[in-house]
Structures are given as structure tokens and as C-alpha cells.
Structure 1
């Protein structure tokens, strides 16, 4: 190399030469056909603005299970409240009343859950949300 005077650099010896240094520690892009020399790639974010409704919604399956449990407890209470026929027996009578009480309890639990869901939808808050996504341009060459 030739002698350098203060402030002068030989060709290819420049501190900003892409072959030797890159901006902000990014890898050099010299020799790649799709990326300009120096690593500058035009990437623009895509911003989508949406309106969202936020609310506390009840979990309907929980109400269905609790309704079925309440129906079974009601069937158990009704079975023990009346005198049992010795020819039928306690288990058969409990099963017979459960056939009617458990579905009624499930329906009642569903009704309570739907009423609470309607009430929570009236208390919903509206928010504006910005979703930003960035995509790099495709390079046309498949590299592993």
C-alpha cells in the first residue's frame, strides 16, 4: 500500500468501505445481487388499525356442569324426601328422578350463563389497536 497522509486513505482502505466495515455491526452485503451495497434494504412496516371489544365473558361449560350437579342434588333430595317403595328401591328411584332433574339443571345453568354473557356484553369497552408487521423482501435465491 502507498503511504497515507493525514485524512487520506488508499483505494479500498476507507473506514466506510463495505468490504471491511459495516454499519452497526451488520454483515456485509457485498456480492449479493438483490441487496444494495452497504446493507441498506428498504423495509416498510405495514400498519393495520382495528377496533376491538374487550369484556369479561362467563365460561358457559362451567355453568352447564354446575347446573347438572344442582339437578342431581335436587334429585337426591326429592328421593329422600318421600317414602321409597320397597319393590323399586332407593337407587332406581334416584336414577328415575335424575333422568328429569339433571337435564333441567343443565338447562337452568345454560340460561344463567347466557344471561350473564348478555350482561357482560353491555359492559364491554371499545379499544383501538394498531398491528404492525414487517416483512423482508424475498431474495429469489434459495439459501440454506
Structure 2
């Protein structure tokens, strides 16, 4: 007794092939760069009391406030870079023909 052959439906389709940046990687790099910039700004900053308020802020508090500004800025900058790279990759896009088979049993 033989088994029935599966029914194959081949189709030729048109597809566009291009290289695209991985958004998660670029946004992650933006976060890391933002944290590093906040650390550098904090490390090279001045921790003396302000003349106007006579308040001195500790290292951790200054770092935390700077992270609130530098991380979103890093995400925005690297997001724009990824967007520009994606637009540039769209120019080198190729159109190819692909054989798409659907196998139904």
C-alpha cells in the first residue's frame, strides 16, 4: 500500500531584498553611550556647594539626573542614525524572483 503524495502548489513571487539595520542594536548602543556620557560628565564635574543655594549634591544623585537626560538623547541620536542607514539601504534594494511552494497533505 502506498502513501498518497502531498499536493504541491508552486508559485513564482517577486520579493525585495536589502540590508537593513537592526533597530534594537542601535537603540541599545544609544543607551550604553548615554550612560557612559552621564558617567563622564559626573566624574569630571564639580561637587562643591553651589554659591546660590549652598547645596552640594552627591555623585549618585548627579549621575542619576544626568542619566535621565543623556540616555533618551543617546536613543534619539542612534535611532536617527539607524533611520538614515535604513533609507540608504533602500536605495540598494534588489528585486528578485522567488519560488514559493505550499505543501498540503
Task: Please report how far the alpha carbon of residue 73 of structure 1 lies from its aligned counterpart in structure 2 after TM superposition.
Answer: 1.1
Moved over 3 A (4+): 132-136
Q: CA RMSD in A?
A: 2.4
Aligned length: 99
Give the CA deviation at 1:82. 2.3
Any idea what the Cα deviations from partners look like across 1:62-83, whole Å, max 9, x if unmatched? Answer: 1001011111111111112221
What's the secondary structure of 1:51's corresponding residue? Answer: strand
Q: Which secondary structure state, in structure 1, belongs to the residue aligned with residue 21 of structure 2? A: coil
Larger Rg: 1
Normalised to the residue count of structure 2, the TM-score between the two structures is 0.79
Residue of structure 1 in register with 2:44 after alignment: 81
The structure that is strand-richer by fraction is 2
Matched, 1:49 2:12: yes
- SS of residue in 1 equivalent to 2:42: helix
Q: TM-score, normalised by structure 1?
A: 0.59
